[in-house]
Structure 1
Amino acid sequence: MKPRAVIVGAGLGGCLLAQGLADSHEVVIVERGEGDDEARWPVQDVGWPAGWAPHVGAGPGGSTRLWHNGLIEIEDEVFAAHWPFAKAELDPYYAEAFELLSGARLSQVQAAIQVLRRRYLGFGLADGLFQGLYYPLWPRNVWDCLGLQGRVQLVRGNVVDFDLDGADRVRSLMVDEAGQRRALTGDVFVLAAGGLGSPVLLQALQMRLPLPALQHAGAYYEDHPMGFVGEVQVSVPLYKLWNYRVPGTDGNLRLPLVVRSGGQHVSFQLRPAANYYRNSRRERVGSVLNDLRRRPWNLLLYARLLRHWDDILDILSFKFGIKLPTRHYTLLLCAQMPTTPERAVWSAPDANDGNAARQRRWTLTPAYLQSLDTAVQAVLAWLAPVTRRSRVFADWHQDLRSAAHHSGTARLSRTADTGVCDTDGRVHGMVNLYVCDGSLIPASGIANTGLTIAALALRMAAHLQGGASSSASRQ
């Protein structure tokens, strides 16, 4: 008889873990959301505002229902500085996850990164850290593309309690299904409810089981601030490299320019622009592409698109390979942020209806914003050899928004003194309770977290099948 794995959450981590366990385990996934925008489970900002909604995806596929999910590895030096194991331990799972999420081989893209890097240097840019960001031509809902329907049992409900067997083992989860409660038993339980969902469940467990590790649930929160910070006019045809079609694949590669400032990585994408010296009140550079990916049949969004010529340049290059000549670019910032041990994610009653709502306190301090100013000047200096003129937008700090890469809130750590989970993703002090989503990630640099979540899920599947041992257990 197969062991039973109960996974809470049908997002990226839950789906990739289910894929890895489907042959060896009886897999049950509990998913409380139904649609792309799940109004029943709000996230409320009590710190820096997100700038858009939703914070998270809902329904089978999770965030892959909402966003295109660019694929990028976290840099070795970020692993060395912040992770409890070396990147080399995750590399084989990165390769496996990359192919599952894109249909392309990671080795193909790594080779293309070097080719594209040499072409940038050939245009006169100084050498530096060029990090590769690969986009498959079409976004993929992982629930659909992995073919999980019928291979796993899907339970539509909300986890409301843990049933414990002693002080270190979960016996079952209490699930509310449309007002009816029942216990889901299992051999192993995995929280994959996301960086804003899993810590709230762990905090509920802490009320009954005061493990030292659980005091960190919801702390060490990280999310990438993103925003357009300025524009440049260059003297070389960089538009030819904007969306580089990787040979042998249908996807496109971009190389953000990464600088270091205040101990953090800060990346900048050069995005071809249709105009220069913008005259709008706050010099905002808008985009409608994320809304279009979520609601492709909304005609009003296409009307908005006609006012966003930068988006049209992006679509022509990305989808059709048409690269219209331009020397004008906007600078899109995506930055690593420092984390703190203060709790930044929790649950509290909604003031309007009394129902539980997740609270997020995202903090961008004046000192951190100053370090981003320094990074902007550093990237302009990097681009100076090929720049005719440049300028930084006034008050661009105010337009920074969340990248919705919620991570760190149940972070991997060697001991319960500094995090929630051990190097296998198991909650410190528990026998059969794991976490498998972005909340595990102790630091992401400037990388979108999707590929790393998928790799961690496949690594966990190998561990639960007995095929992988943690770095800690080998010492």
Structure 2
Amino acid sequence: MKPRAVVVGAGLGGCVLAHALLATHEVVLIERGAAVEDPRFPVEDVGLPAVTQPHFGAGLGGSTQLWHNGLIEIDEEIFSAHWPWPKAELDPYYAQAFSLLSGVELARVREAIEQLKQRYRELGLPPGLMQGLYYPRWPRNLWTTLGLQGRVTVVPGNVVDFDVGPDGRIAGLLVEEGGSRERVEGDVFVLCAGGLASPVLLQKLRARLPLPGLDHAGAHYEDHPMGFVGEVEVTVPLYRLWNYRVPGTDGNLRLPLVVKRDGLHMSFQLRPAANYYRASRREQVGSVLNELRRNPWNPAHYARLLRHWDDILDILSFKFGIHLPTRHYTLLLCAQMPTAAEPSVWSRPRDDGAGEVGVRRWHLTPAFREQMEAAVRDVLAWLAPVTRASRVFSGWQADLRSAAHHSGTARLSGSPDAGVCDPQARVHGVANLYVCDGSLIPASGIANTGLTIAALALRLAAHLGGQRVPSP
């Protein structure tokens, strides 16, 4: 008889983990959201507002129903500085995850990255660090593409408490739905509820098990500040390389320019611009495109799109391979933020007494803001040999928004003095409780977290299935 794995959350991590565990486990998946945006579980910002809405997903597939996830590996330097093991530990799972999420071999994309870097150099761009970001042509709802319907047992409801046995192991989870509660038993339990929800569950467990590692639940929060910072006019035909189609695939490759400031990585995408020196900027990063992906039959979205010519350039190149000549580009910043040891994610009772509200405190320190300003100057200096004109938007920092890459709040660490989970993703001090979502990631540099979450899920499935996981 197979052991029973109870997975909390049907987002990217939960779906990949459930899929990978089916060979060795009976899988029960608990999902509290009835739809991709479930108003029953709000998140309140007491720091900077997210602006990007929604910035987390619910329901079967989680945020993979919302976002067209770009696939990018976290830089080896970030692993060396912040992770409990080197990048080589995750490399075989990166390869498996890349194929699973895109249908394309990672080796092919790595080869295309080097070829594209050479083409940039041939245009006269100075040598510099560029990191490959691959977009499959079509977004994927992982619940659907992995075919999980009917293969796993789904329990709808919200986990409200842990049943802890006398030996300190988790014996079951208490799940509430529609005013009633049930106890879900299992042999192993994995929290995949996301960087904003998993730490709140762990804080509930801390009330029952005062373990040192659980003191870090909700702390060390990281999200990428994103925003348009300026625009440039270049003297070379960079537009030919925007949304570069990887040979033999239907996906596109971009090479963000990466600047390093005091150990932090900050990336800049050069996005073709239809209007130059315009008085106003886009209302929101990718706002129109994301709404079109989710609801392509709403004519109002197409009317809005006509006011966003930069997005039209993006669609023409991304979907149809049509690269209209332009020498004008906006600079889109995505920055690695420093983390802090104080809690940034927690919960409080709702004002009406019906459930809880998640709370997020996103804070960018004055010192970090100065580093971002310096990084903008650095990238403009780096581009100077191929730039005819440039300007920085006044007040661009006021327009920064969440990248929805909530991570670090239950991070991997070699010791419970530094994080929630051990190097195998097990909660320090609890024999059968694991975490597998963005909250597990100790640092991501400038990388979207989706590919890494999938790789961590495959690694954990190998561990729980008794396959050899290389020791750090």
TM-score if structure 2 supplies the norm length? 0.98
1:309 is matched with which residue? 309
Does the aligned pair in 2 maintain the 1:265–1:446 contact within 8 Å? Answer: yes
Please say if 1:190 is aligned against 2:199. no
Match runs of 1:390-409 below 5 Å: 390-409=390-409
Shift of 1:468: 2.7
2:53 is matched with which residue? 53
Task: Using the TM superposition, name which of 189-198 and 461-470 deviates more.
Answer: 461-470
Shift of 1:318: 0.1
Shift of 1:208: 1.1
Shift of 1:161: 1.1
Which amino acid in 2 is paired with 1:44?
E
Shift of 1:471: 2.6
1:109 is matched with which residue? 109
SS in 1 for 2:428: coil
Distance 1:346 1:470 in 2: 34
1:122 is matched with which residue? 122
2:228 is matched with which residue? 228
Match runs of 1:352-391 below 5 Å: 355-391=355-391
SS in 1 for 2:205: helix
Which amino acid in 1 is paired with 2:316?
L
Match runs of 1:382-461 below 5 Å: 382-461=382-461
Which amino acid in 2 is paired with 1:131?
Q
Distance 2:327 2:6 in 1: 53
Which amino acid in 2 is paired with 1:96?
Q
Distance 1:298 1:456 in 2: 37
2:169 is matched with which residue? 169
2:275 is matched with which residue? 275
Shift of 1:283: 7.9
Does the aligned pair in 1 maintain the 2:459–2:469 contact within 8 Å? Answer: no
Cα distance per residue 1:79-111 (max 9 Å; x no partner): 000000000000000000000000000001000
Distance 2:412 2:304 in 1: 42
Does the aligned pair in 2 maintain the 1:424–1:470 contact within 8 Å? Answer: no
Shift of 1:285: 6.9
Does the aligned pair in 2 maintain the 1:167–1:209 contact within 8 Å? Answer: no
Change (3 A) 1:24 1:286: closer
1:33 is matched with which residue? 33
Shift of 1:238: 0.1
Does the aligned pair in 1 maintain the 2:227–2:285 contact within 8 Å? Answer: no
Does the aligned pair in 1 maintain the 2:350–2:356 contact within 8 Å? Answer: yes
Does the aligned pair in 2 maintain the 1:346–1:360 contact within 8 Å? Answer: yes
Count of matched residue pairs: 471
Does the aligned pair in 2 maintain the 1:203–1:217 contact within 8 Å? Answer: yes
Structure 2: runs of 5+ lacking an equivalent: none
Match runs of 1:57-96 below 5 Å: 57-96=57-96
Distance 2:129 2:351 in 1: 46
Cα distance per residue 1:313-338 (max 9 Å; x no partner): 00000000000000000000000000
Does the aligned pair in 2 maintain the 1:233–1:329 contact within 8 Å? Answer: yes
Distance 1:52 1:203 in 2: 26
Task: Using the TM superposition, name which of 345-354 and 35-44 deviates more.
Answer: 345-354
Match runs of 1:6-17 below 5 Å: 6-17=6-17
1:337 is matched with which residue? 337
SS in 2 for 1:130: coil
Shift of 1:253: 0.3
SS in 1 for 2:445: coil
Does the aligned pair in 1 maintain the 2:218–2:345 contact within 8 Å? Answer: yes
Which amino acid in 1 is paired with 2:177?
E
1:294 is matched with which residue? 294
Does the aligned pair in 2 maintain the 1:283–1:394 contact within 8 Å? Answer: no
What do you get for the CA RMSD once the two structures are aligned? Answer: 1.2
Does the aligned pair in 2 maintain the 1:228–1:285 contact within 8 Å? Answer: no
Distance 2:56 2:210 in 1: 28
Which amino acid in 2 is paired with 1:217?
A
Shift of 1:167: 4.7
Task: Using the TM superposition, name which of 354-363 and 96-105 deviates more.
Answer: 354-363
Shift of 1:351: 3.7
Distance 1:33 1:391 in 2: 44
Distance 1:94 1:296 in 2: 32
SS in 1 for 2:319: helix
Distance 1:186 1:245 in 2: 45
Does the aligned pair in 1 maintain the 2:222–2:407 contact within 8 Å? Answer: yes
Does the aligned pair in 2 maintain the 1:425–1:434 contact within 8 Å? Answer: yes
Does the aligned pair in 1 maintain the 2:89–2:470 contact within 8 Å? Answer: no
Which amino acid in 2 is paired with 1:129?
L
1:135 is matched with which residue? 135
Shift of 1:77: 0.3
Identity %: 69
1:258 is matched with which residue? 258
SS in 1 for 2:207: helix
Distance 1:433 1:243 in 2: 41
Which amino acid in 2 is paired with 1:448?
N
Task: Using the TM superposition, name which of 177-186 and 197-206 deviates more.
Answer: 177-186
Does the aligned pair in 2 maintain the 1:129–1:257 contact within 8 Å? Answer: yes
Does the aligned pair in 1 maintain the 2:220–2:409 contact within 8 Å? Answer: yes
Change (3 A) 1:284 1:386: farther
Distance 1:36 1:294 in 2: 10
SS in 2 for 1:118: helix
Task: Using the TM superposition, name which of 292-301 and 133-142 deviates more.
Answer: 292-301
SS in 2 for 1:458: helix
Please say if 1:321 is aligned against 2:321. yes
Structure 1: runs of 5+ lacking an equivalent: none
Distance 1:93 1:378 in 2: 34
Does the aligned pair in 2 maintain the 1:233–1:327 contact within 8 Å? Answer: yes
Distance 1:225 1:23 in 2: 39
Distance 1:455 1:182 in 2: 32
Change (3 A) 1:172 1:284: closer
Cα distance per residue 1:194-247 (max 9 Å; x no partner): 000100000001111111110000000000000000000000000000010001
Shift of 1:466: 1.1
Shift of 1:350: 3.1
Shift of 1:349: 2.1
SS in 2 for 1:140: coil
Change (3 A) 1:115 1:233: same
Task: Using the TM superposition, name which of 148-157 and 439-448 deviates more.
Answer: 148-157
SS in 1 for 2:13: helix
Distance 1:124 1:382 in 2: 11
SS in 2 for 1:208: coil
